[in-house]
Structure 1
Amino acid sequence: MAASQSVIDPTAGIVAHAIDSYRDILSAEALAFVAGLHRRFDARRVALLADREARQRRFDTGECPDFREDTRAIRESEWTVAPLPEALLDRRVEITGPVERKMIINALNAGAKVFMADFEDSSAPTWTNQVEGQRHLRDAVNGTIEYTNEAGKHYRVGPDPAVLVVRPRGWHLPERHLTVDGEATSGALVDFGLFVFHNAAALHARDRGPYFYLPKLQSMEEAALWNDVMDHAEAVLGLPEGSMKATVLIETLPAAFQMHEILHALRSRAAGLNCGRWDYIFSYLKTFRAHPDRLLPERGQVVMTVPFLKAYSELLIQTCHRRGALAMGGMAAQIPIKGDDEANDAAMAKVRADKLREVTAGHDGTWVAHPALVPVARAIFDAHMPTPNQRHVTRDDVSVSREDLIRPAVGTVTRTGFDNNVEVCLRYTAAWLDGLGCVPIHHLMEDAATAEIARAQLWQWLHHGPVEFSDHAPVSFALFDHALAKYRQRLRESTLPGAARADDAAALIAALTHADTLHDFLTLPAYDRLP
């Protein structure tokens, strides 16, 4: 056994890494609680992942997603979710970020209504990041979180912090640093289990949940699994049933056809649905990986006003408001551009336009990735949404068909867009391998979803040829290999995040792009390369 591992109890079958460094978080009692979740629910999780694979095989042979006939009664009958707690009625601006100590403090102080602390797409899941993130959140819940940087600047949480909502990892991600009965555990159950074990009682005592964002769901059955996990955790921890509330990110194409069903599966604890638009675009690409007639143009042209994304957004609003839930808008990834007022003004204008689109469509709130964007987004929602939310906006005018949700966008592929996909995918992957999951690139705060879109688009353009650039030259593997080598060298010679892992990242991206089949997730093979 490696020195970094400790057996908590040889008869219990629980093994965790670096236990002596994190005994306050990885206590025997906390790990026993997580082990209980694993033994009770992991077989079901694995079976649902097998269902995903079977579903994708059907898509690969020509089937397209559709509304389920066996759940028509859920969609057509009248029901609503349980009443929302006071703390979640006004969510007009939410800020998101990784579970890093300074980031947590700044986000809680940013003036947003909600801070989503992210163990998923904006965190590289090193064991250090995940466990220290739990420690930081425990300190935040207890009101003891502080931070002093190397220059002596001190950070602490102010008197009116944002409401805390936690996003655990998706069902597909493993946690190899904690095993139970010789099996790797689920990253989702580890993140959730450790957080609620240490914080549920304190949060519930203050009428703060605990509250969660649930990522990457594809079906109502996957939502039902989360519901049962929370039911069990509430019973074990002595919380009233329904104390834990969940907002589901609709960020997969299959889930867009089951929004009513997902809310119904979580109806005692559903707080809303969120337009996780970047991952949704990635899911569209992945779902139709074997459909050359459904290629998308370059990433910059796939905006929320294209028909399939507009239909998805409006259907989400209609569904949520019919069921009494909140309909959350998507992320503004822009960050302030220092030293270039004209470029910064243009970036902020894009944010305002995007938030105006959301609030006038009927969304109840929106996301930003940087504290400086909170007042920008809040001003738009304050001006157009004087009430805490817009559940009264029923959007009865919306009628979305299957074809509306799967119709591809029309556009082009430029050499600039192609190169940008190569560069962004490489730079993000290298930073992720170096332990950083939230990366500023070209004045945008990028997380794993952007790298996934870039990777999937490159694969499709190269494997479903002939695809031409806007100047009619063909997209080719030779151009891809040349661009990857160019940006790898630039990154190696820079001081940018991930410079030390440029070669590893380039090798991984090359292998995935040249592979005959588009891999489901970049983060799965990359996880094996983390320290």
Structure 2
Amino acid sequence: MNGIEIFAPIDSSHQLWPEATAPAKIITKSALEFVATLQRTHGKTRKELLEARNVRQQAIDKGTASLGLLDSTAHIRNDASWKGASLAPGLEDRRVEITGPPERKMIVNALNADVSTYMSDFEDSLAPTWSNVTWGQAHLYDAIRGQIGFSDAKTGKQYDILSRPHRKPVTLIVRPRGWHMEEKHVLVDGEPVSASLFDFGLYFYHNAKQLISNGAGPYFYVPKMESHLEARLWNNVFVQAQDLLHIPQGTIRATALLETLPGAFEMEEIIYELRDHSSGLNCGRWDYIFSTIKTLKNDSSHILPDRADVTMSVPFMSAYVKKLVEVCHRRGVHAMGGMAAQIPIKNDIQANEAAMARVKADKLREVKAGHDGTWVAHPALASIANDIFNQYMPQPNQISFNPFTLDNYQPPTPSDLTNTHIDGGRITEAGIRKNIYIALCYMEAWLRGQGCVPIDYLMEDAATAEVSRAQLYQWVIHKCTTQDTNKPITPELTTSILAEELASLEKTASQQNKFAQAARHLLPEVSGHQFNNFLTTLLYDDITTLSPVPVDPAQLEE
């Protein structure tokens, strides 16, 4: 295994996989060689594209570049003849998709839920410790082979996949980490392997043929792309991977999470680049709000108010949805809706009813906007989403609905996508405090290896924490003023509130908590002294447990 090194954590007895044997069937010689081949072929292009992101962002920050449709790809937008891929087996009906990390209990509950598909997430809802990543792969390996049942050691409760005699099986979709992330436990030719290629490669290598045998296929969500060239890179990976395993081209299907503002100007081109493998686009709403703040952070005319005021009906979000549905349906692929992050409130009937009413209203908006399906974070929300979509979309999807053909339809303009004016939106001291609280709580949990966290009856993941810290940075650097207390938002104010929230949280936390560690990382962000591209890359080294010497690849199974 020349050129491949594994710096996985080992215990004092130098046992290769100290926790159990499951990762041994995932981190095999042949699987790592497959990942290394992908890395050697595509690693250089990935790095070039990430640098292109930085160059464009620096120009936008300086005011020397702006966002808009690309002249170089006008021929793609103007050519009405091309379409995305036909609907793949198991992906015809996607009206309700549940999402969550590849934890064993989550997988069982998701596959038993009243949903069409389960998006198993190695990205925003997983803290990528070596254990989480490798065990996540092992759990999916077992699930695909019908071996996922287990007994909870703490409760004694048995978890098994239930029979679904009158419903199709839940279709599995996997989201690998984004292009910006690395898997530092594995080096190829002296460099960390792309986390995207690591997650995709292991899953595809071990499971593609079994998934096909099961009657579905290797299906993916690809995240956080900022240009059609990044989609082209994914497509090239798919082509090579299928060739290496002698699987017919077009077997892979990928839904692109449209969750960046730059990407919104290249929706059509992204579908085009993936077209033989495309399953459409998804409205990744929280990441999209974060990306909008991040991209326009230096422009004082694009300051967003409190997170609660940034709803799907505000101009830039409404234009984003409208454009995504129209583009997807014109190209014959799914236009997927976004996340209902609410979770049931068991001890407060009134609060729970109000929360579920918000879910219902959001799903009604989505189906009427033309979406072909939606996301939920908790199985209890599936019935609400199903009821709405069954009523207004009795057929498997509504791809045939193209708003572009309607009388008086006005397609969103490029300026609509950056119209961040929000009538009645306010920046408040309460909003500052809530953002700091959410960011602190999420970051602390992430540092403990937990990437999906219930906070105030909402399932928060990396995207929602990103919105919170990005807003704080933007408010400080533009010297905004709170509208409830009339205070200037200074580094001193955000620092003092951070200290107060930290002290409050530490009072009731366990001694093993990592709130102080989280606060150290958060302080430069909320005081306007630095802005990292992603929280996950900011925190990643803190959960990376490298062994001092590489694991000998000769010890790996074939």
Q: TM range, normalised to the smaller chain?
A: over 0.9
Name the stretch that deviates more: 13-22 or 207-216: 13-22
* Equivalent pair of 2:444/2:514 in contact (CA under 8 Å): yes
Aligned equivalent of 1:159: 163
Aligned length: 521
Alignment of 1:65-80 (within 5 A): 65-78=67-80, 79-80=82-83
The alignment status of 1:446 with 2:446, answered yes or no, reads no
**For the residues of structure 1 that align with 2:493 and 2:355, how far apart are their CA atoms?**
30
Deviations 1:223-282 (A, max 9, x none): 000001011000111110010000000000011000100000001010110000000000
* Structure 2 counterpart SS, 1:271: strand
Alignment of 1:242-391 (within 5 A): 242-391=250-399
The alignment status of 1:401 with 2:413, answered yes or no, reads yes
Name the stretch that deviates more: 22-31 or 107-116: 22-31
The alignment status of 1:131 with 2:134, answered yes or no, reads yes
**For the residues of structure 2 that align with 1:96 and 1:329, how far apart are their CA atoms?**
13
Alignment of 1:159-238 (within 5 A): 159-160=163-164, 161-238=169-246
Alignment of 1:518-529 (within 5 A): 518-529=531-542
* Equivalent pair of 1:270/1:325 in contact (CA under 8 Å): yes
**For the residues of structure 2 that align with 1:245 and 1:215, how far apart are their CA atoms?**
14
One-letter amino acid of the counterpart of residue 148, structure 1: S
* Equivalent pair of 1:174/1:185 in contact (CA under 8 Å): yes
Aligned equivalent of 2:549: none
One-letter amino acid of the counterpart of residue 28, structure 2: S
Deviations 1:264-314 (A, max 9, x none): 000101011000000000000000111111100010000000011000001
One-letter amino acid of the counterpart of residue 176, structure 2: P
The alignment status of 1:505 with 2:508, answered yes or no, reads no
The alignment status of 1:481 with 2:472, answered yes or no, reads no
Deviations 1:121-153 (A, max 9, x none): 000010100000000000000110012112211
Name the TM-score, length of structure 2 as normaliser: 0.91
Name the stretch that deviates more: 206-215 or 266-275: 206-215
Aligned-residue Cα RMSD (Å) equals 1.3
Cα drift, residue 528 of structure 1: 1.1
Cα drift, residue 330 of structure 1: 0.4
* Structure 1 counterpart SS, 2:72: coil
Cα drift, residue 471 of structure 1: 3.7
One-letter amino acid of the counterpart of residue 299, structure 2: H
**For the residues of structure 1 that align with 2:52 and 2:481, how far apart are their CA atoms?**
32
The alignment status of 1:122 with 2:125, answered yes or no, reads yes
Aligned equivalent of 1:491: 505
* 140, 145, 164: which one aligns with 2:143: 140
Cα drift, residue 515 of structure 1: 4.7
* 457, 463, 466: which one aligns with 2:477: 463
Aligned equivalent of 1:33: 34
* Equivalent pair of 1:14/1:35 in contact (CA under 8 Å): no
* Equivalent pair of 1:462/1:475 in contact (CA under 8 Å): yes
Deviations 1:415-455 (A, max 9, x none): 21111000000000000011000000000000000110000
- Alpha-carbon distance change, 323 to 221 in structure 1, aligned in 2, over 3 angstroms: same
* Equivalent pair of 1:318/1:398 in contact (CA under 8 Å): no
Structure 1 residues without counterparts, runs of 5 or longer: 1-8
Cα drift, residue 516 of structure 1: 3.5
Cα drift, residue 493 of structure 1: 2.4
**For the residues of structure 1 that align with 2:526 and 2:137, how far apart are their CA atoms?**
35
**For the residues of structure 2 that align with 1:431 and 1:131, how far apart are their CA atoms?**
19
* Equivalent pair of 1:493/1:499 in contact (CA under 8 Å): no
Cα drift, residue 24 of structure 1: 1.2
Aligned equivalent of 1:47: 48
- Alpha-carbon distance change, 84 to 177 in structure 1, aligned in 2, over 3 angstroms: same
* Structure 1 counterpart SS, 2:179: coil
* Structure 1 counterpart SS, 2:542: coil
One-letter amino acid of the counterpart of residue 411, structure 2: S
* Structure 1 counterpart SS, 2:25: coil
Cα drift, residue 499 of structure 1: 6.3
* 93, 98, 104: which one aligns with 1:95: 98
* Structure 2 counterpart SS, 1:88: coil
Deviations 1:192-240 (A, max 9, x none): 0000111011011223110000000011100000001011000111110
* 11, 17, 23: which one aligns with 2:8: 17
* Equivalent pair of 2:96/2:116 in contact (CA under 8 Å): yes
Q: Percent identity between the aligned chains?
A: 47
* Equivalent pair of 2:491/2:528 in contact (CA under 8 Å): no
One-letter amino acid of the counterpart of residue 150, structure 2: Y
* Structure 1 counterpart SS, 2:97: strand
* Structure 2 counterpart SS, 1:94: strand
* Structure 1 counterpart SS, 2:531: coil
Cα drift, residue 40 of structure 1: 0.8
Higher relative contact order (CA 8 A, sep 6+): 2
One-letter amino acid of the counterpart of residue 417, structure 1: G
* 62, 85, 88: which one aligns with 1:85: 88
Aligned equivalent of 2:548: none
Name the stretch that deviates more: 243-252 or 514-523: 514-523
Name the stretch that deviates more: 480-489 or 190-199: 480-489
Cα drift, residue 514 of structure 1: 3.1
